[in-house]
Amino acid sequence: MAGAVPQIAVQDVKSKLDNGEDVFLLDVRTPEEYETAHIDGSHLFPMDEIPSRLDELRDAIQSRPVITICHHGVRSHNVAAALLQRGFEDVSSMSRGIDAWSLEIDDSVPRY
């Protein structure tokens, strides 16, 4: 289906990070959510700010693959779809979000 957003499991994100792959972790939650729990090395671009910060985001990403992150995967899916529609390439959404990361990868990341 055209416009389908690739999903990536938290385990696969962890593998990419462990292997030193140069991926851009794009956290689309609010600053308060990010402060509560985030993946080290992720970049906060709140969902509602992305339209006005597209150039800044494009400069930050450069040619790296992008993985969008939110709490449970809905906002990250929507942002990934919007970025793909705007010509960004190699964008995927982390399925089940930071909550799954906390449950399955790093229990030091608080759940909320």
Q: Report the predicted TM-score, pTM, of the whole model to 2 decimal places.
A: 0.95
The answer to whether 108 is a known catalytic residue is no
Give domain status of residue 37, yes or no. Answer: yes
Give domain status of residue 17, yes or no. Answer: yes
Beta bridge partners of 93: 7, 68
**Residue span of the structural domain in which 66 resides:** 7-104
Q: What are 17-31's pLDDT values in tens digits? A: 999 999 999 999 999
Give domain status of residue 40, yes or no. Answer: yes
Distance CA 107, CA 1 (A): 36
Please give the helix or strand (H or E) that residue 10 lies within, else none: helix 10-18
Give domain status of residue 16, yes or no. Answer: yes
Burial (CB count <10 Å: 0-12, 13-18, 19+), residue 10: buried
As for how many domains the chain has, the answer is: 1
Catalytic residue among 8, 25, 26, 70: 70
How far from each other are the two terminal CA atoms of the chain, in whole angstroms? 34
Give domain status of residue 111, yes or no. Answer: no
Q: What are 54-70's pLDDT values in tens digits? A: 999 999 999 999 999 99
Tokens in use for 29? 């939650």
